[in-house]
Structure 1
Amino acid sequence: MSALSLSALEPHLSDRDIRILEDLERFRFLTTRQLQRLHLAVVPLGGHATISSATRGTTRILGRLEQLGVITRLARRIGGIRHGSSLIVWQLGPAGDRFLRARRGDPKRRRYEEPGRTFLSHTLAVADAAVALIEQANAGRFELLELELEPTCWRSFTSSSAATVSLKPDLLAVTADATTETHSFVEIDLGSEHLPAVLRKCRVYQRYHDTRIEQEGRGLFPAVVWVVSDPLRATRIRTAIDTDRHLASELFWIITPESMSRQLAPYPAAVIT
């Protein structure tokens, strides 16, 4: 995008529009509903009084941005057409990518392609967890001191055999109130991974914990919170971790989505060192 075309586009974008583009770059994919929760919150006094009115407002904004070419919708919908516009999935469009890169002087171009169903479902589930934390922080329940998505939250370390090992959490979240901070590596599990794969990733967390790299920089090691699809899955993963002699079971929390917000919020718990 040339300087001239950038200057021609910029007057058509409000501050909120630009924040929407930045969120699509950060999260990769977001539904209309997730974008509404982030940018047109339901506020009975002085804002949108209902979810439906907020969704209509969001749909109008996204339609205008789509016409400008700065965002694009995916061909695939999540949940089927019966759910309407709220579950249309959006990503940054070519013009939006060029616009954001030009603003920060970044020459590196990012490729945007139609994702597979499993990858998309997982990416949106991770986004949903992050959006929930942002909503609660905006509502004043706690402070959100850190919220790192992939790949920012990834960690690399050297194994005992001198090989480089990559740890790839889905999220890193740090919440706080007046007296407590809660640090969490978050794994969103949709039930598609076999238990051996889950245990292999737990062992990478254990190995990273044992390097003490995170503890030296942070003062503690974040709890590893697996958010799983149902109680039966939670029980199976919990049992597998507890019986694995390579794992310190207290490092890992296995929860369902219903208790996610409570677990990631500030809580008085023993520090894992």
Structure 2
Amino acid sequence: MTPSHTQDLGFHLTERDIRILEDLERYRLLTTRHIQRLHLPIKPFGDHASISAATRGTTRILRRLEGLKAVARLERRIGGQEHGSALTIWHLGSAGERYLRLRRGDTARTQYLEPGRPFIAHTLAVADIAVTLHEHSGAKRFELLELATEPACWRAFTTGTGSTALKPDLFTVTADPHTETHSFVEVDLGTEHLPAVLRKCRVYQRYFRTGEEQALHGLFPAVVWIVPTTKRARQLHDAISGARDLDATLLWITTTEQALAHLAPYGPPVASSGDTTT
């Protein structure tokens, strides 16, 4: 694809089209439903009256962008209660990737490799948390001051044992008129072995002890583990509580259904059978 062709692509893109391309670059993978929720939201989050009309509109936009090679779809699909085009998975196409690079003056090309099922599932689960925050912020329920994805949300730091990096899935800051809520977000689908989860918890604890985040922002964000089921929440709670070298007060565990109560400034989270604070 020639530079002139890529520049010509800009004449075919609306501002909303460009925002869709930027979101696909940012989140790597999104379903049609994610894109609809972000860019053609229904009431009370937006102006569209019905999800069917918004989905049809989103599908038309994506097919047009696909024809321009600005977006591309995965051959793999995901399971779920929805059917049809809403479950199609999209990524940035070759023309879209080049257009965004040239637009900001980047020269390094990003190579696309077909992802495996675990990567797809985790990437879409992280995107779903981000989309939910955007929805509720757009409905003026709170302000979304910051939402950083990988690798922008990573933290490099040094301890006595050497240099390392903290790699959360998301970093978020939400606010209402009275409070700000800062969170490192870890999305767990129940497939990670518990020793691996505990190792990552220890990285958070080592970073906390450096004081670097507190010096920059005056606080250390909550570390919020979001899990799919109450059973998994209990497994993580028991594993963390049983690790004598971990300060469990740094770590929060909640289910996907209860995640917004931790990530948004809705007041102190209320623990339930599916919502565990360690």
Category of TM-score, reference length = shorter chain: over 0.9
Matches within 5 A, 1:183-198: 183-198=182-197
Aligned twin of 2:271 = none
Q: 1:82 to 1:254 in 2, by over 3 A?
A: closer
- Offset at residue 83 of structure 1 (A): 1.9
Q: Report how many aligned residue pairs link the two structures.
A: 269
Give secondary structure in 2 for the equivalent of 1:224. Answer: strand
Give secondary structure in 2 for the equivalent of 1:246. Answer: coil
Aligned twin of 1:13 = 13
Aligned twin of 1:220 = 219
Aligned twin of 1:157 = 157
- Offset at residue 159 of structure 1 (A): 2.3
Give secondary structure in 2 for the equivalent of 1:191. Answer: coil
1:47-96 Cα offsets, whole Å, 9 max, x none, are 32111110010000000000001100001011179721101000001110
Letter of the structure 1 residue corresponding to residue 206 of structure 2: R
- Offset at residue 45 of structure 1 (A): 11
Give secondary structure in 2 for the equivalent of 1:24. Answer: helix
Matches within 5 A, 1:46-61: 47-61=47-61
- Offset at residue 268 of structure 1 (A): 4.8
- Whole-angstrom CA distance in 1 between matches of 2:194 and 2:72: 36
Asked if structure 2 preserves the Cα contact closer than 8 Å seen for 1:181 and 1:267, the reply is no
Q: 1:145 to 1:112 in 2, by over 3 A?
A: same
- Offset at residue 121 of structure 1 (A): 0.3
- Offset at residue 110 of structure 1 (A): 0.3
- Whole-angstrom CA distance in 1 between matches of 2:104 and 2:256: 37
Aligned twin of 1:254 = 253
Asked if structure 2 preserves the Cα contact closer than 8 Å seen for 1:182 and 1:267, the reply is no
Give secondary structure in 1 for the equivalent of 2:83. Answer: helix
Asked if structure 2 preserves the Cα contact closer than 8 Å seen for 1:148 and 1:172, the reply is yes
Q: Which runs of 5+ in 1 are unaligned?
A: none
- Whole-angstrom CA distance in 1 between matches of 2:242 and 2:55: 47
- Offset at residue 5 of structure 1 (A): 2.1
Give secondary structure in 2 for the equivalent of 1:234. Answer: helix
Aligned twin of 2:24 = 24
Matches within 5 A, 1:176-215: 176-215=175-214
Aligned twin of 2:129 = 129
Aligned twin of 2:236 = 237
Letter of the structure 2 residue corresponding to residue 106 of structure 1: D
Letter of the structure 1 residue corresponding to residue 116 of structure 2: G
Asked if structure 1 preserves the Cα contact closer than 8 Å seen for 2:40 and 2:46, the reply is no
Letter of the structure 1 residue corresponding to residue 173 of structure 2: V
**How large is the Cα RMSD of the aligned pairs?**
1.9
Letter of the structure 2 residue corresponding to residue 202 of structure 1: C
Aligned twin of 2:265 = 266
- Offset at residue 43 of structure 1 (A): 3.4
Asked if structure 2 preserves the Cα contact closer than 8 Å seen for 1:21 and 1:71, the reply is yes
- Whole-angstrom CA distance in 2 between matches of 1:234 and 1:147: 24
Q: Which runs of 5+ in 2 are unaligned?
A: 269-278
Query: TM-score with structure 1 length normalisation?
Result: 0.94
Give secondary structure in 2 for the equivalent of 1:72. Answer: strand
Query: TM-score with structure 2 length normalisation?
Result: 0.93
Letter of the structure 2 residue corresponding to residue 243 of structure 1: G
Asked if structure 2 preserves the Cα contact closer than 8 Å seen for 1:180 and 1:267, the reply is no
Give secondary structure in 2 for the equivalent of 1:190. Answer: coil
The 4+ residue runs of structure 1 with deviation greater than 3 A are 43-47
Q: Percent identity?
A: 61
Asked if structure 1 preserves the Cα contact closer than 8 Å seen for 2:45 and 2:135, the reply is no
Matches within 5 A, 1:170-181: 170-181=169-180
Letter of the structure 1 residue corresponding to residue 265 of structure 2: P
Q: 1:44 to 1:151 in 2, by over 3 A?
A: closer
Asked if structure 1 preserves the Cα contact closer than 8 Å seen for 2:45 and 2:136, the reply is no
